[in-house]
């Protein structure tokens, strides 16, 4: 179990470098405006995509890297219009592993929010466990995931109190 997690983590880092994302150049800043670690702040609520929300044609893996790190008990909020208001419905799925994520293969993916659940205040998902989370939109048979940029990975960190 522990070993498997460690293995998956290594794969995530490997995938990140495969995608040409330089971790070294990233701002892991301890006082970045989004995640100030001054001990008084609890878990954050983070809107996926920020003002872009959850839509086709935005690079969410890029967004996730720009907005990392995420922490335990942080809440991700997915906002998207319900099918009644939108010609292009979205959804949220979790992949069980990196392979499914990289291939946008939804065979073993789990739907965590259907196309109507992103309305109003959005669909909320709490990062409760130390594991890589592989998120994606499952609409149009993987097209939104593969071509629309609607997938990203998050590995929550422990927020050290002090």
Ligand X SMILES: *[C@@H]1O[C@H](CO)[C@@H](O)[C@H](O)[C@H]1NC(C)=O
Binder of residue 73, out of Cu ion, ligand X, none (CB less than 5 to 8 A by kind): ligand X
Q: Does 75 bind ligand X (CB under 6 A)?
A: no
Interface with ligand X: number of residues (CB under 6 A): 14
Strand ranges of the sheet holding 45-47, from the earlier edge strand across to the other edge: 45-47, 75-78, 123-126
Q: Which residues contact 135 (CB under 8 A, 6 or more apart)?
A: 48, 60, 76, 92, 93, 94, 95, 151, 152, 153, 154
Work out which of 35, 46, 55, 61 binds ligand X, going by CB under 6 A: 61
Query: Running DSSP on this structure, what letter comes out for residue 115?
Result: T
Nearest CA among 126, 122, 118 for reference residue 144? 118
Work out which of 11, 16, 21, 77 binds ligand X, going by CB under 6 A: 21
Q: What tokens does 33 get?
A: 């405006």
Q: Does 31 bind ligand X (CB under 6 A)?
A: no
Work out which of 67, 76, 79, 90 binds Cu ion, going by CB under 5 A: 90
Phi and psi for 61 in degrees, rounded to 5? -70, -35
Stretch that binds ligand X, among 16-24, 74-82, 96-104, 106-114 (CB under 6 A): 16-24
Residues making contact with ligand X (CB under 6 A) = 19-21, 36, 38, 40-41, 59, 61-62, 72-73, 149, 158
């Amino acid at each position: 179990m522990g070993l498997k997690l460690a293995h998956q983590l290594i794969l995530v880092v490997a995938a990140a470098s495969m995608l040409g994302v330089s971790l070294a150049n990233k701002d892991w800043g301890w006082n970045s405006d989004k995640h100030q670690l001054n001990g008084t702040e609890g878990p954050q609520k983070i809107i996926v995509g920020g003002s872009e929300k959850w839509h086709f044609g935005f690079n969410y893996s890029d967004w996730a890297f720009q907005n990392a790190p995420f922490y335990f008990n942080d809440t991700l909020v997915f906002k998207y219009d319900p099918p009644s208001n939108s010609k292009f419905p979205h959804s949220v799925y979790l992949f069980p592993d990196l392979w499914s994520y990289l291939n946008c293969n939804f065979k073993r993916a789990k739907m965590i929010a259907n196309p109507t659940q992103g309305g109003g205040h959005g669909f909320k998902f709490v990062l409760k466990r130390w594991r890589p989370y592989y998120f994606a939109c499952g609409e149009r048979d993987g097209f939104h995931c593969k071509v629309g940029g609607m997938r990203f990975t998050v590995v929550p960190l422990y927020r050290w109190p002090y």
